Structures are given as C-alpha cells and as structure tokens.
A and B are shown apart, each in its own frame.
Chain A
Amino acid sequence: MDFLTLLQVLDTSVRLATPLLFACLAGLVCERAGIFDIGLEGKMLASAFFSAAVAAISGSVWIGLLAGVMASVALAGVHGLASITFRGNQLISGVAINFLASGLTVLIAQDWFGQGGRTPSLSGGARFNEIKLPFADLLSGLPYIGQSYAELFSGHSLLVYVGFLTVPLTWWVIFRTRFGLRLRAAGENPEAVDTAGVNVIRIRYTAIAICGLLCGLAGVYLATGLQAGFVKEMSSGRGFIALAALIFAKWRPWYALFSCLLFGFFQALSFRPDVVKAVTSLDVPGQLLDALPYILTVVILAGFVGKAIPPRAGGEPYVKES
C-alpha cells in the first residue's frame, strides 16, 4: 500500500468520524449531567432530513442547518420532558425518539417530495462544500508533509473543522467553567447541587438543549456535507456507534476525539476491502468490517480494555425532597 492510499483511507476516516464526533460530544454533555440518551440516532436522523429538505427547498444550506438543528432540539425537548419533568425511563424515551424520527422523516419526505422517502439531491449553495485550505495546491507536490496537508487536512467541509474545534470547546466548558462544574455535579450528586442552591432541573434541561444542538450538527453534516441529500435511515446506527465511542472515551472530550477517529477509521476500512486485503493478505469479509465497530464496542464494554465508569447519577430522575 502506498502513501497516497493511506492518506485516502485516513481522509475518509476523518469524514466519517465527524458525525460520530458531534453525536459523541452531544452524548457526553447530556450524560455528564445525568441523563442517558440513546436517542442520539433519532435526533441525528431528524436533523439530517430537515436540513436536507429545507436546504433543497430554500437553496441555502444555512437555512437548512437552522431547520435541522431546530428539529433535533425539539426532539431533545421531548426527551427532557419525559426524563426530567415527568421522571420517566430515559432509555424508553430514547428508544421512542428513535422510532419517532425514523417514521416521521419518511412520512414527511414522501409527502413533500414524493421520491420514496428521500430528498432531491443537493448541489451548490444547498450543500456544505469542500474548503481548500491556503497553499494546498502549492504544497501538494511536496512528498509526505505537503501531500498530507493537501489530502488529509485540506478539502473538508466547514462542519468538519467545526467538529474538531468543538472538542477543545467542550473540554473547556465542562472542565473549566462554573457551568461545567455544576453540570458534572448534577450527573454525580444532584442532591449536593440542589443543596448549594443551584437548580438541577435547569442544568439538565440546558445540557439536553446542547445535546440537541450538537446532534443536530451531526445530522446536518450527514445530509449536506458527507452526502448530498437525505435517504431513508441514513444515520444507519451512527448514533449508537457514537454512544459506544463515548463509553470507550470514558466520558472525556479528548478521548472522544480519538475514539471517534478510530471508529471512523473502521468504517473507512469497510469501504476499502482491497486495502484490507493487501495489508493483511487475508480475505476479510466486508460484513466483518461492517460489524467491527460493534464487536469492538462489546469487547470494550466487557472491560477487557480498562473499566468504563459512567456518571454516578446517570439514568436517575432527580426528585427534590419536599
């Protein structure tokens, strides 16, 4: 395998890691505040549809982005209502949200566009197009470093760069601000937060809103950056892989970046069975590569690669003493 092939695989990994990264950070904020969210998948799907649909109608990807994020935040609101206000089961609520999104997107897509549950394909201003970083062409002749710069770092859509910048931002908010301290406390020991006179309910709703926003961006990137339009069930389990990446990262932002890149790399490999065959000289079935992120997650969860301890108050609705 030559260097350029390697770069191509890595480049694809970065693209595929981006939606995982947004969703993973979304889950991180939410779960750190004590709300389990297995509805990442559904929120991502809803956002993918509404962003693509509105971008197709309006011709502007920015209006699409707004619509997608709004759809995702609305579903996050349902999750908040169920799991914070009405103290329902957070897992069941997440499952429900996934089904709501997967049903609604196809129904509305068929009603609006009549193309069997997809949106028209997007082009031009209705998409996030690739951005060429300065000097990319000039440096592409330079072996290794220049090639890497041109192939790997340049030529992604805006949201990829936003995604990578969200990692330090999340780290800073969670670990260096007062809000972040309270958010983590709400996920570990909500009684203490309440005793300190801080409103647990408000913190958790804020966390859920941030989660909705980030999931929304994941969906927007999926439909308008990675691909050009929405197709039925296009999130295809990414919300769950993101959840797996979150556990792998043990709920920490920088580790989340690396685990998302790793899972993105596995997904990229499943697109290039020829590369896998050339490197390992084994005839690995494509289905095994498809299943690899899921298998790996199970192995990680089984604790063979270190122990993952979730936030202590995760999954428990907070009931104020009266």
Chain B
Amino acid sequence: MTVLPKWADAILIPLLSILISFVISGLVILYLGLNPFEALRLMVTGALGSSYGWGYTLFYTTNFIFTGLCAAIAFHARLFNIGGEGQATLGGLGVALVCLAVPWPHWTLALPAALIGGALFGAAWAFIPAWLQARRGSHIVITTIMFNYIAAALMVYLLVEILKPEGSMDPATRRFGPGAELPLFSDIFGLVGIPFSSSAPANISFFIALLACLLFWLLVWRTRLGYEIRAYGHSETAADYAGISPARMIIIAMIVSGALAGCMAINSVMATERLVLNSVEGAGFIGLAVALMGRSHPVGVILAALLFGFLYQGGGELALWANIPRELIILIQGLVILFTGALDNMVRMPLERIFLMIRRPGKQGA
C-alpha cells in the first residue's frame, strides 16, 4: 500500500522534516536574542563565503560522510549502531599507530596503510557487539553505547599512560612524520591553478569519502551480499527461510559499519598530524542524523553530510561572532533526528491524505 510516489517519499518528506527542524531552531535562536536570518547570514558567510570556510565545511563533511555511511549500512540490516563514535575513536587509534610505526617516505604509501589500520580497528570494535548480538542475543543498541564509553576510557588510558611522549603534559601522541602529511585542497587545486586557502584542513580524504559512497552503493544494490543484507533488514524470518544466516548478516553489516567509522580517522587524525583526546568530537552521533536524513542512500548521505558540515562550520562562526554556544549544532542534530527519524509519520500521514485527495478525482474520471 504505497500512497506516496517515490519522489515524495525520498525527497519531499525529508525536506519537510528538515524545514520543521530549522523553523524550531530559528525560534530558539530568536529566543536567545539574535535574528535567525542574521544568524543564517553569519553561518553562510563563515562556512561558504571563502575558500577557507569551504575548506573547513568540506573537512567536516568528509567526517560525516564516513559516519553517515557507518550508520546507513547498519540501518539497511535494521541494526541501530549508536557505536559509530567509539568505532571512530578506535579507528583513530589504528591510524595513529600505523602513522607512528614507520617513518613513511610518502603519503601515497602512508594513506592506504592508515586506511587499513583505521578500518581494521573500527571493524574490530564493532565486531564484539555484533558477535554478542548474533550469538548471545545481547541488545546491540545497549552494547554499542557501552562500547562508546569503554572506548573513551581506553583512549584516556592509552594517551595519558602509554602513547604520550616523555616529558609532555598534553595527553596526545607525538607528531606523525612529514611522510604522513596528506595533500590539502590547496595542493590539489594548485595543480590546476585554482587558488584555495592553505590553512583549511580539507584534504584528499574527501575524495576517498566520495569513493566510499560509490563502493557503498555497489555493495548494497549491486552485489549478492548487499541484497542479503537488505533482505535481512526487511524481514528476518523471510531471510532465514531463504537460507540467509541472520548471525552472518549481523556480523558482516556491523564489521562494514565499524570499518567505515574507522576510516573517518584518516581525515580527522591525519589532518591534525597526531592523535589527541576526543578526536571524533561527536561525528559518530551526527552520522545517525546524516543517515536518517539521507534515507541511508549514498547520495542522500553526501547531501546530508554537506548540510551538517555547513552547520558545524557555520555554528563555529556563530559561536565566534554572536554569543551562541556551539551546542546549537547538537540541538539542531537532535531536532533533525527527531523529525526525520522518530516523528516521520507526523509528516507522512497528512501528506498521504493530501496525495489521496489529489488522486481520487483523476481515478473517477478514468
């Protein structure tokens, strides 16, 4: 029983939900004593008004594409992976260990190795909750939340007690070598003569994120495994009957999910050139909003990640120029998750009624 045409389901409903979230955010900004349109102007200028702003916006976008895909693949298997934050944290550890282990001669060697390191650590951190869900029936939502906290504690321990260089007060690793420096947008665009701010951190990882989106699409819609994951997500009993092992689907989907979250670290950790505490900065959670908003489709994820990249950079500018804390972005994130995720039916039900009303006279005429 599909009342809505496909475009309305894929585009109209998310747009309406986002509109509602933004109107509420605007009202909150108004309450905080700033004209919402003035706030929007500040955010647009700060995030999109210069190549410096774009450089930060796309840097954050890269993070959110990875964590968005992380949540999305889990959603396809009807798993709710709240552990993106912890998996990305461990991915950061993997990337840092790879970068520190060898004096890399060139980034072309360091990047693939770091990618593998990050993905492996992220996947391993996701594997334990996945295994527990598949074999012991422990609820994956709770276990992944717990693993976020365990990851945070583990990271504090490692950075303070083990990885911190001798004599340093800062809980962070030593700097990676120059061979692990990724080419920035200024280097890449400089090749074709386009000037780009060299102080912005956006780097080649952005293109790797786009590549990951393509691979994601191929995996989910063009392979047997992707079909099995989606089949499992639609109906566990039907999938089981068709000979698809639920345990295998849970574990594979979660491993891919964790690996994608771990890959985020090539962007966030290699750009800062050392591993610091809380390098993920909530990107794992933003991935949930991104995946919900993007309807778990790579194109949707890219667009939603771009929107959140803009909000993140713009929110930073807002904190700088107006007396509005960065936490505004957490509020917007919460509203987006609420309206595109939990209150989906609130938008859908009236819309379905409208579409039925439009369609009925046409049917009688035919």
Tell me which residues across on chain A come within 8 A of B33, comparing CB atoms: 111
Q: Which of B138, B154, B345 contacts A298 (CB 8 A)?
A: B138
A50 to chain B, nearest CB (A): 15
B325 with A106: CB separation less than 8 A: yes
Is residue A287 contacting chain B, with contact meaning CB distance below 8 A?
yes
B82: which A residues are within 8 A, CB to CB?
95
Q: How far is the CA of A273 from the CA of B147 in the complex (A)?
A: 23
**Beta-carbon nearest neighbor of A79 in chain B:** B342
CB contacts under 8 Å to B, within A81-122, are 81-83, 86-93, 95-104, 106-107, 110-111, 114, 116-117
Stretch at the interface among B91-99, B184-192, B330-338: B330-338
In the complex the two chains form, is B330's CB within 8 Å of A99's CB? Answer: yes
Interface residue? B41 (CB, 8 A): no
Query: How long is the Cα–Cα vector from A294 to B328 in the complex, in angstroms?
Result: 29
Give the distance to chain A from B281, nearest Cβ to Cβ, in Å: 14
Least distance between B36 CB and chain A CB atoms (Å)? 14
Map CB proximity to A onto B119-144 as digits: 1 under 8 Å, 0 otherwise.
00000000011001000111101110
Inter-chain contact B324/A107, CB cutoff 8 Å: yes
Q: Write out the residue numbers on chain A whose beta carbons fall within 8 Å of the beta carbon of B150.
A: 291, 294-295, 298
CB–CB B143/A96 < 8 A:
no
Query: Are A100 and B335 CB-contacts (below 8 A) given A92-B342, A93-B342, A287-B157?
Result: yes
Q: Which chain A residues in 237-291 approach chain B with CB under 8 Å? A: 237, 240, 243-244, 247, 285, 287-288, 290-291
Task: Report chain B residues within 8 Å CB of A89.
Answer: 341-342
A100-B142 contact, Cβ under 8 Å, with A86-B343, A107-B325, A288-B153: no
Measured between beta carbons, the chain B residues less than 8 angstroms from A78 are 338
B149 to A287, Cβ gap below 8 A? no
Contact A301 B139 (CB under 8 A): yes
Which chain A residues border B349 with CB–CB below 8 Å? 86
With A102-B330, A103-B327, A291-B149 known as contacts, the answer to whether A95 contacts B142 (CB < 8 A) is no
Give chain B nearest CB distance to A99 CB in angstroms. Answer: 3
Q: What's the A-B contact tally at a CB cutoff of 8 Å?
A: 152
Determine the chain B residues whose CB is within 8 A of the CB of A227 once the complex forms. Answer: none
Is B323 positioned at the interface, with any CB of A under 8 Å from its CB?
A: yes
Whether B28 lies near A107 (C-beta < 8 A) is yes
B345 touches A96 (CB 8 A): no
Contact, CB under 8 Å: B145 / A240? yes
CB distance from A253 to the nearest CB of B (A): 20
B contact residues around A104 at 8 Å (CB):
28, 331
User: Given A285-B157, A287-B157, A298-B138, do A88 and B343 touch, yes or no (CB 8 Å)?
Assistant: yes
A174 CB → nearest B CB, Å = 22
A290 to B146, CA, bound (A): 12
Q: Is the CB of A301 within 8 A of B157?
A: no
- A residues with CB within 8 A of B: 38, 78, 81-83, 86-93, 95-104, 106-107, 110-111, 114, 116-117, 237, 240, 243-244, 247, 285, 287-288, 290-291, 294-295, 297-298, 301-303, 310
10 example contacts (A-B, Cβ-Cβ < 8 A) are as follows: A89-B341, A96-B337, A102-B330, A103-B334, A107-B28, A110-B325, A240-B142, A298-B128, A298-B129, A301-B138
4 closest Cβ pairs, A-B complex: A103-B331, A99-B334, A93-B342, A103-B330
> A106-B327, A111-B33, A287-B153 are known contacts; what are 17 more A-B pairs with Cβ within 8 Å?
A38-B145, A88-B343, A92-B341, A93-B343, A95-B285, A96-B334, A98-B334, A102-B334, A103-B329, A240-B146, A243-B142, A291-B153, A297-B142, A298-B128, A298-B129, A301-B132, A303-B136
